[in-house]
Amino acid sequence: MSLVRPGFAGAQYYSEGGSNKTIVIDKRVGFEKGKYFDNIDKSKHVFNQDETIYFRIVVENNGNSDLSNLDVWDMLPSGLKLIYNPGKLNSSKDKLDWEISQLGIGQTRVYEISAKIEGTSKTSLKTNYVEVSGDGVNDSDRASYWVAGKTMPVTGTQDLIALTMMFLGMSGTGATLRKLTRGY
């Protein structure tokens, strides 16, 4: 058996002494603080009105150069009432934004957001979008989750039967009292 040596070998991320600026942003969602998922499927959890939802955003400089003046913005889906967030809410109230002034090689920043779920008319899939950009780099990510629609209270047939019996009973009592007072 003989060994064959390739005449050319290439690498996707090879850089010869140059600057390689890259950044990664990761958005996760959770229904318990500290327990986060890329997405929450219906089979895992469906959020209800007034329930707290948690988001975690991780920004990492995985290049070989320091980064500066990075803008982070988080596009909030409808139906959230913010409890805690790292940025400022813009005037349209659907986007949080903040700046990372410096992010060194290999450094990571973690941001937490919490909100209350407000009611929706029907069960729906919501997606939260986040992006980081600046200093010649950018990245984005999404996290999706389900929100239950408002439901009307259900009254069962037993409630209907009880109300009907009560009404009929009162009617019968009224007829009996009328007969006694009128003398027939």
- Distance between CA atoms of residues 48 and 64, nearest Å: 44
pLDDT above 80: residue 169: no
Q: Using one digit for the tens of pLDDT, what is the confidence trace for 49-81? A: 999 999 999 999 999 999 999 999 999 999 999
pLDDT above 90: residue 140: yes
- Distance between CA atoms of residues 25 and 57, nearest Å: 7
Q: Using one digit for the tens of pLDDT, what is the confidence trace for 15-33? A: 455 679 999 999 999 999 9
Nearest by Cα to 134 from 35, 81, 66, 181: 66
Reported as a pLDDT band with limits 50, 70 and 90, residue 94 is confident
pLDDT above 90: residue 153: no
Q: What proportion of the chain, given as a percentage, has pLDDT over 70?
A: 70
Nearest by Cα to 125 from 107, 106, 148: 148
Reported as a pLDDT band with limits 50, 70 and 90, residue 124 is very high
Cross-strand pairs, 138: 133
**pTM score over 0.85:** no
**For residue 55, with 0-12 CB atoms within 10 Å meaning exposed, 13-18 middle and 19 or more buried, which class applies?**
buried
Residue 142's pLDDT is 97
pLDDT above 70: residue 44: yes
